[in-house]
Amino acid sequence: MTQQAFAIAIDGPVASGKGTIAKLLAEKLHGFHMNTGAMYRALTLYCLENNIDLHNSHAVIAALSSLTFSLDNGVYMNAKEVTEEIKKREVTQAVPIVAAIAGVREKMVKRQRAIGLEKIAQGEIVLVDARDAATKIFPDAALKIFLTASLEVRARRRFAQVKSGESYEQILEDTEKRDYQDTHRVSVPLVSDPQKHGYLVIDNSSLSEDDTIALILKKIEEIYDRD
Ligand code: C5P
């Protein structure tokens, strides 16, 4: 198996369970959960806090150049922990604007691949939790998973997670809006035909977390057996 074979790409729309599944798999496999959304969120938080116009791509890209990120035991931006702050509704709503900037994506993908390769070099299996893990960050991943679920199931899950007092209807609307933004942006949209891109598509609308994990572990075992 090549070094890159240790990356497992997990892509999918908002609230498809990617984060939870990637985290649980990382625990089971003693691997590294690379939460790429956290990096886009941290950059967005920085822009909001520093009054940087999100529609000014030059300013956002310049801001990114001044930032460092660490995803070890929490999310750190310039060594300051932002794990909880980046989950705020203002950040969640604004992050697709930042993530749509081509120059931002280009730099993020490079940094994410570098972080992943460093972990792989240290002997870790890297669970890349993203929307472009298999298409951009690790096209050479050993396994490419596209995790999805119906819009309603995803909104219900977010409703149960988010403790900001938002109604289910608000969350459903936000989720639909984010789906639209993520699949229609000009720069690296979330794929709408994952099978064609070589993904194993898992619709987990009616699967438990344990079922989903078991399915993915079985696939990983098949890959290891084959090599
Ligand atoms: O995964 P999470 O929901 O935290 O990601 C926040 C946002 O960051 C997404 O809605 C998407 O706009 C953007 N994102 C992205 N590419 C990634 C990860 C996240 O565009 N690899």
Tens of pLDDT, residue by residue over 16-35, are 999 999 999 999 999 999 99
* Cα-to-centroid distance, 6 and ligand 1 (Å): 22
More confident residue, 219 or 227: 219
The ligand 1 atom nearest the CA atom of 130:
21
Cα–Cα distance, 185 to 102 (Å, whole number) = 10
* Range in 16-25, 47-56, 167-176, 190-199 the model is least confident about: 190-199
Probe residue for ligand 1, chosen from 11, 20, 23, 36 as the CB with the greatest number of ligand atoms within 8 Å: 36
pLDDT digits (tens, 9 = 90+) for 109-144: 999 999 999 999 999 999 999 999 999 999 999 999
Counting beta carbons within 10 angstroms of the beta carbon of residue 51, is it exposed (0 to 12), middle (13 to 18) or buried (19 or more)?
exposed
Q: Which two tokens stand for residue 223?
A: 């890959």
Cβ neighbours of residue 56 closer than 8 Å, sequence gap 6 or more: none
Long-range CB pairs of 49-53 (<8 Å, 24+ gap) are: none
Instruction: Give 203's strand partners.
Output: 148
In the chain the domains, ranked by start, together with CATH numbers, are: 7-218 (3.40.50.300)
Instruction: Work out the pLDDT band at 4, boundaries 50, 70, 90.
Output: very low
Q: Which two tokens stand for residue 197?
A: 């891109």
- The answer to whether residues 89 and 164 touch, using CB atoms and an 8 Å cutoff, is yes
* Cα-to-centroid distance, 225 and ligand 1 (Å): 33
Cβ neighbours of residue 213 closer than 8 Å, sequence gap 6 or more: 21, 24, 25, 28
Q: Which of 125, 103, 150 is nearest to 22 (CA)?
A: 125
Cα–Cα distance, 60 to 43 (Å, whole number) = 8
Query: Given this model, what pLDDT does residue 161 score?
Result: 82
- The answer to whether residues 206 and 213 touch, using CB atoms and an 8 Å cutoff, is no
pLDDT at 80 over 70: yes
* Cα-to-centroid distance, 98 and ligand 1 (Å): 10
- The answer to whether residues 179 and 155 touch, using CB atoms and an 8 Å cutoff, is no
- The answer to whether residues 120 and 5 touch, using CB atoms and an 8 Å cutoff, is no
Cβ neighbours of residue 202 closer than 8 Å, sequence gap 6 or more: 145, 146, 147, 148, 212, 215, 216
* Cα-to-centroid distance, 38 and ligand 1 (Å): 8
- The answer to whether residues 74 and 99 touch, using CB atoms and an 8 Å cutoff, is no
